[in-house]
Amino acid sequence: MQPDGEPMTALPTRLHQPQVQTDFLSASDAARLVVRVGVLECLRQMVVALQADYARWNDFDKTARTAAHSASGVIELMPVADDQDYAFKYVNGHPINTQYGLPTVMAFGALADVATGAPRFVSELTLTTALRTAATSAMAALKLARPDSRCMALIGNGAQSEFQALAFIDLLGVRRLQLFDVDRAASEKLQRNLAPWVTELGVEVHIAGSVQAAVQGADIVTTVTADKRNAVVLDASVLAPGMHLNAVGGDCPGKTELSAEVLERSSVFVEYEPQTRLEGELQQMPADFAVTELWRVLAGQAAGRVSDQQITLFDSVGFALEDYSALRTMHALGREAGLLSRIELVPTLADPKDLFALLKAQAAADQAESAWKQVA
Ligand SMILES: NC(=O)c1ccc[n+]([C@@H]2O[C@H](COP(=O)([O-])OP(=O)(O)OC[C@H]3O[C@@H](n4cnc5c(N)ncnc54)[C@H](O)[C@@H]3O)[C@@H](O)[C@H]2O)c1
């Protein structure tokens, strides 16, 4: 993007003293923006952006994310680029964090010009990740869930859960939510936070006493739990014909939510296959286990749901392209709302080959200031 926000099509001509203008969206300004635009409208705009970007899948330079694993969690870097914009996200996943008063998932990221490498936008991505993950789940479910799906089980009621619930209420027409979390207080928090939509849309929200009770009668089952192990939140005994499974929480080697039999009985859809084979529920399956990349369904190159009896599974792990779409959406919305600030991330140089001049100028300024203090 150029400083005025328009896409850059050619290298910039040499200005006298070019400045890199970097926009910044803080966590509190992102919250202000989402409240101002409306959380449902943000989700809708993100789905539109995701659909447009997934539709041009082959324009992107893609790679599986790089991960640094530790005993308590993972820190990941997620890059992607087309011929104009480069995007990356830094994100962690530490299920232990809530015990220390920190979120399980925290993120930030940037957009830069491919033509020059100049960083144009730096943003919080914790709230944005919750929005883009829910928007991606909804985009997948619009192709994979039965169109008459009205009841969703939501297993794992932490930080991501409100966003998942709202995306499915607004975009899929879900009108009954059956919640379960091993921490009942988390389910009660989710129920309280959804109260406005209960009143406005007549959505029913029930807290169940077990996974089995939550899944009973559900058309869609979303799992979004955090646990750093191969957990079995759902086994095949709870499956019913026609279900759509939206498995969000298993997103790292050694961290899964479903039994292998669930995958065997489902048609499995993934974001970027090389990454999901390492990180998704798919890590449990043989290397030749058949899956379909979601972009092919969106592009009409592969079938999504083909019958009312089929069990479909979106094995979500989160892919960098979704952060590209989310960063561009938040940048555009933030600019429109006047909620971006400018930060000096890159120095402005009179001679781009004389970076050292910055130090000389600073030393001269410091000297002048100390001389002034002696006089004053
Ligand atoms: N696929 C993606 O794109 C994507 C994006 C963001 C987060 N995630 C993953 O989603 C998961 C949830 O993230 P969060 O930010 O909501 O975390 P969180 O810690 O805020 O909430 C997780 C909840 O899961 C509950 N839980 C743990 N084990 C459970 C079990 N066996 N049954 C029922 N509930 C259980 C916890 O009590 C907690 O309330 C994490 O694993 C995270 O890595 C995936």
Residue 230 is part of a domain; what is its CATH number? 3.40.50.720
Question: Measured between alpha carbons, how far is 69 from 54 in angstroms, rounded to an integer?
Answer: 29
Whether 288 and 329 share a structural domain: no
CB of 73 within 8 A of CB of 92?
yes
- Give me the numbers of helices (H) and strands (E) for the chain, helices first please: 12, 17
Whether 59 and 109 share a structural domain: yes
Q: Is 317 in the pocket of ligand 1 (CB under 6 A)?
A: yes
**What range defines the domain where residue 204 resides?**
144-318
Give the domain CATH number at 72.
Answer: 3.30.1780.10
pLDDT of residue 14: 56
CB count, 10 Å around CB of 106? Answer: 19
- Report the C-alpha dihedral over residues 311, 205, 175, 46, rounded to 10 degrees: -80
First to last CA, the chain: 46
CB of 247 within 8 A of CB of 223?
yes
Tell me which of 94, 155, 160 to substitute to probe ligand 1's pocket, judged by most ligand atoms within 8 Å of the beta carbon.
160
7 assigned to some structural domain: no
CA–centroid distance, 245 to ligand 1, in Å, is: 15
Which residue type does 75 have? Answer: I
57 assigned to some structural domain: yes
CB of 249 within 8 A of CB of 233?
yes
3-state helix, strand, coil in the chain (%, to 5): 40, 20, 40
136 assigned to some structural domain: no
pLDDT of residue 5: 45
Question: Measured between alpha carbons, how far is 370 from 376 in angstroms, rounded to an integer?
Answer: 10
* 344-347-353 Cα angle (round to 5): 165
Strands 74-81 and 66-69, bridge-based pairing: antiparallel
CB of 259 within 8 A of CB of 232?
yes
Task: For residue 262, give Cα distances in angstroms to 105, 216, 265, 272.
Answer: 26, 16, 5, 20
3 assigned to some structural domain: no
pLDDT of residue 228: 86
Whether 195 and 250 share a structural domain: yes
50 assigned to some structural domain: yes
11 assigned to some structural domain: no
Residues labelled catalytic:
251
Whether 342 and 272 share a structural domain: no
Given 299, 318, 337, the domain boundary residue is 318
Whether 310 and 332 share a structural domain: no
Q: What is the pTM of this model?
A: 0.95
pLDDT of residue 376: 80
| Segments of the chain with pLDDT less than 50 | 1-9
CB of 195 within 8 A of CB of 68?
no
Whether 330 and 235 share a structural domain: no
CA–centroid distance, 15 to ligand 1, in Å, is: 49
79 assigned to some structural domain: yes
Question: Measured between alpha carbons, how far is 368 from 200 in angstroms, rounded to an integer?
Answer: 64
Q: Is 320 in the pocket of ligand 1 (CB under 6 A)?
A: no
Whether 286 and 348 share a structural domain: no
- Tell me the two tokens of residue 91: 């994100």
Question: What atom of ligand 1 comes closest to residue 322's alpha carbon?
Answer: 3
pLDDT of residue 287: 98
Tell me which of 136, 207, 225 to substitute to probe ligand 1's pocket, judged by most ligand atoms within 8 Å of the beta carbon.
225
CA–centroid distance, 354 to ligand 1, in Å, is: 49
Question: What atom of ligand 1 comes closest to residue 136's alpha carbon?
Answer: 3
Q: Is 246 in the pocket of ligand 1 (CB under 6 A)?
A: no
Strands 22-25 and 119-124, bridge-based pairing: parallel
Q: Is 183 in the pocket of ligand 1 (CB under 6 A)?
A: yes
Tell me which of 76, 100, 181, 317 to substitute to probe ligand 1's pocket, judged by most ligand atoms within 8 Å of the beta carbon.
181
CA–centroid distance, 255 to ligand 1, in Å, is: 11
Question: What atom of ligand 1 comes closest to residue 183's alpha carbon?
Answer: 37
φ, ψ for residue 41, nearest 5 deg: -65, -40
Q: Which helix (H) or strand (E) holds 193?
A: helix 184-193
Q: Tell me how many domains the chain contains.
A: 2
Whether 342 and 219 share a structural domain: no
Whether 202 and 283 share a structural domain: yes
Whether 223 and 359 share a structural domain: no
CA–centroid distance, 226 to ligand 1, in Å, is: 3
Whether 158 and 303 share a structural domain: yes
Whether 314 and 165 share a structural domain: yes
- Tell me the two tokens of residue 95: 């299920």
159 assigned to some structural domain: yes
Q: Is 280 in the pocket of ligand 1 (CB under 6 A)?
A: no
Which residue type does 9 have? Answer: T
